[in-house]
Amino acid sequence: MDERKVLMTAVKAADDKRAENIVALNMKGISLVSDYFVICHGNSDKQVQAIANEIKEKCGELGYSIKRLEGYNEAKWILVDLGDVIVHVFHRDERLYYNLERLWGDAPIENIESVIN
């Protein structure tokens, strides 16, 4: 499986549901958990769930299996585990509180502009 293609599919799916401030971090050599983290947020519980659903659907269409989906019912921080790519879909306020970008500040930011509208 091409983790870069999984990354771009997840980013495009999030963007299609109007996720805000999408950031992709290259976690290679930093985290043993995955190669990439995608961090984004929505402005309501429904939007956060819609973003996670779209990621799950679009990645599934390409044959990428979802290893785990956590936090869906609460819709404050949904974690979509795609194996080499982990997507963190936050509610806006939760994203500010947890500030994963600062926590993983040593991770290089991936260029994802080619798939974002």
How many domains does the structure of the chain reveal?
1
Domain-embedded: residue 97? yes
Please give the share of the chain, as a percent, with pLDDT higher than 90. 85
Percent share of the chain, pLDDT over 70: 99
Strand partners, 89: 40, 78
Predicted local confidence at residue 38, as pLDDT: 97
Identify the band that residue 1 occupies on the pLDDT scale cut at 50, 70 and 90. low
In whole angstroms, give the CA distance from residue 7 to residue 10: 5
Question: How many C-beta atoms lie closer than 10 Å to residue 108's C-beta?
Answer: 12
Answer for the pair 27, 81: CB distance below 8 angstroms, yes or no.
no
List the CATH number of the domain containing 37: 3.30.460.10
Report pTM.
0.94
Domain interval for residue 98:
3-109
